[in-house]
Amino acid sequence: MDSLFDSAAEEAHRGQEPLAVRMRPRSLDEVIGQRHLLGPGTPLRRLVEAEAPMSLFLWGPPGTGKTTLAYVVAGVTRRRFVEVSAVSAGVKEVRAAIEQARRELGMSGRQTVLFVDEVHRFNKAQQDALLPAVENRWVTFIGATTENPFFSVISPLLSRSLLLTLEPLSDDDVRTVLERAVADPRGLDGRVRLTPEATGHLVRLAGGDARRSLTYLEAAALIADGEVTVEVVERAVDKAAVRYDRQGDQHYDVISGFIKSMRGSDADAALHYLARMIEAGEDPRFIARRIMIFASEDVGMADPTCLQVAVAAAQAVELIGLPEGRLNLAQAVIHCALAPKSNAVISAIDAAAADVRRGDIGQVPGHLRDAHYAGARKLGHGKGYKYPHDFEHGLVRQDYIPGTLRDRRYYQPTRHGAEAAFADRWARIRAFLRGVPGEDGKTR
């Protein structure tokens, strides 16, 4: 039992807690966002309502409610809450927490929620120390991670746990968090008014992170004279309001400037627009998708590594999120901007698609047709097909494209960057396959 001194100290500290802590939900119904996890009949809600033993991994970006859900589970099921940070704790601290939970369970029958934040930072030995407690259900284990647990958590621990993926909060979710904090007695209790413009600015700055939005709101409220405006927020968090509507003209104008700057090989301009989007709270996954598209549409075979870099940046953003993910995006942007340019890839697929839409498709040559099903051979399917690997250089002269399209040229490479080598190779291969003179006049 807590002493009177402990209770008094807790009561005195309660008013000094950060706004984000004071506004932490007390029930599943108070949690904002994550509807896919908290709706009626979902596994998490069933476990909590049944007060069943459980082991969970909560995977998601910062500020999406991982710690909040752990607190709510402990509160709703009336279990002790013990938090261990993987950043500072070792095997000794983990085992001590587990042993205390076992004693509590044996003496009073009360279960313990053992919450490990940043669990991906635990090494294998530290994670192994958790296994007996999870397997024997001495504790309700909840691990929070911002990194993919399939890469960072040992298989025995992951296989014994329910993995829940949390999503970034939507703009409407963050707006609800702010409005509730302004009005709620646990929060600002109506002492300040938050203007719609300031709300929008805070939503953009938050980038789907509820904790960040409340931290900025609290800082602004401290210097506000009854009203939190955009100017107050700018002074409080030292971030200028970037006029940027993710559904309006600014969204399309900035992304257009971004793409065209990379296409024009101006790395500085491209980085400027990248920074504008990030600072305005644009979804980094949207930015990463645009870079991947650009890598094939505007660079293509002139630098085939460009797509690899763009995909790697997108994967990195998924794994680590912002703010660190901005480094991966910036690297991809610089690579794309400075790469030699070619639009031969998009021109090729557009030309091929145009023929198909016009009905210029022709018949698949008989020797290329599928000959694996019964009766196909009788129809002549596959007859005369020559297996390229049986021939020198892996090339053999035979028709691949439908006869009516034999003279079509879809891929017409440039001489830019690495595509020059592909252009030479394609010219030789095409001349050989078609049996027509190449650019040098020779038939190969």
pLDDT for res 2: 47
What pLDDT shows up at residue 179?
94
How is residue 406 written in tokens?
Answer: 């034999």
- Mean pLDDT throughout 255-280? 90
317-350 burial by CB neighbour count: b if 16+ within 10 A, else e?
beebbbeebbebbbebbbbbbebbbbbbbebbee
State residue 306's pLDDT score: 95
Average pLDDT over residues 230-258: 71
What mean pLDDT is predicted for residues 327-350? 94
- Give mean pLDDT, residues 339-365: 88
Give the model's pLDDT for residue 250. Answer: 63
Residue-averaged pLDDT of the chain: 85
Could you tell me if 33 and 167 are in contact, meaning their C-beta atoms sit under 8 angstroms apart? yes
The pLDDT, as a whole number, for residue 344 is 93
Comparing 357 with 240, which gets the higher pLDDT?
357
Contact 328, 296 (CB under 8 A): no
Query: Between the ranges 111-120, 208-217, 290-299, where is the mean pLDDT highest?
Result: 290-299
**Contact call for residues 276 and 254 (beta carbons, < 8 A):** yes
pLDDT band of residue 5 (cuts 50, 70, 90) is very low
Structure tokens at 254: 């900035």
Region for 422 from its dihedrals, namely left if φ exceeds 0, alpha if ψ lies in -120 to 50, beta otherwise: alpha
Residue 239, pLDDT score: 58
Q: How much is the average pLDDT of 246-272?
A: 82
3-state secondary structure at position 255: helix
- pTM, two decimal places: 0.54
- 439, exposed or middle or buried, with CB in 10 Å at 0-12, 13-18, 19+? exposed
Percentage of the chain exceeding pLDDT 70: 89
pLDDT digits over 358-370, tens only?
Answer: 888 887 787 777 6
Q: Residue 1: is its pLDDT beyond 90?
A: no
160-201 pLDDT, tens digit each: 999 999 988 888 999 999 999 999 999 999 999 999 989 988
Instruction: Give 289's pLDDT tier (boundaries 50, 70, 90).
Output: very high
The pLDDT, as a whole number, for residue 272 is 92
The residue written with tokens 């030789």 in the block is 428
358 backbone φψ class: left, alpha, beta (φ>0; ψ -120 to 50): alpha
Per-residue CA distances from 202 to 143, 195, 218 (Å): 29, 11, 11
Element (H, E) at 55: strand 55-59
pLDDT of residue 218: 92
The mean-pLDDT minimum among 135-149, 352-366, 404-418 falls in 352-366
- Note whether 421 and 307 are within 8 A (CB): no
Cα angle 229-218-171, degrees, rounded to a multiple of 5: 70
Does the structure show a pLDDT above 90 at 271? yes
Query: Tens digit of pLDDT for each residue in 14-53?
Result: 557 899 889 988 888 888 888 888 888 888 888 888 878 7
Continuous H helices in 184-324: 196-206, 210-223, 230-237, 249-263, 267-279, 284-294, 305-320
Q: What is the pLDDT of residue 399?
A: 82
Report pLDDT for 244: 52
- What pLDDT, on a 0 to 100 scale, did the predictor assign at position 270? 92
Q: What is the pLDDT of residue 329?
A: 96
Burial tier of 240 (Cβ tally within 10 Å: 0-12, 13-18, 19+) = exposed
pLDDT-derived band of residue 248, with 50, 70 and 90 as boundaries?
very low
List CB contacts of 357: < 8 A, sequence separation 6 or more.
none
Q: What is the DSSP letter of 253?
A: H
Is pLDDT above 70 for 269? yes
Q: By CB neighbour count within 10 A (0-12 exposed, 13-18 middle, 19+ buried), where does 369 fall?
A: middle
Cα separations in angstroms, 408 against 348, 358, 365, 404: 11, 14, 16, 9
Question: Is residue 9 very low, low, confident or very high in pLDDT (cuts 50, 70, 90)?
Answer: very low
Is 70 exceeded by the pLDDT of residue 442?
no
| pLDDT for residue 92 is more than 50 | yes
Element (H, E) at 85: strand 80-85
- What mean pLDDT is predicted for residues 258-273? 92
Whether the Cβ atoms of residue 38 and residue 44 lie closer than 8 Å to each other: yes
d(CA 179, CA 301): 51
> 3-state DSSP call for residue 113?
strand
- pLDDT tens-digit map of 64-89: 889 888 988 888 888 999 998 888 88
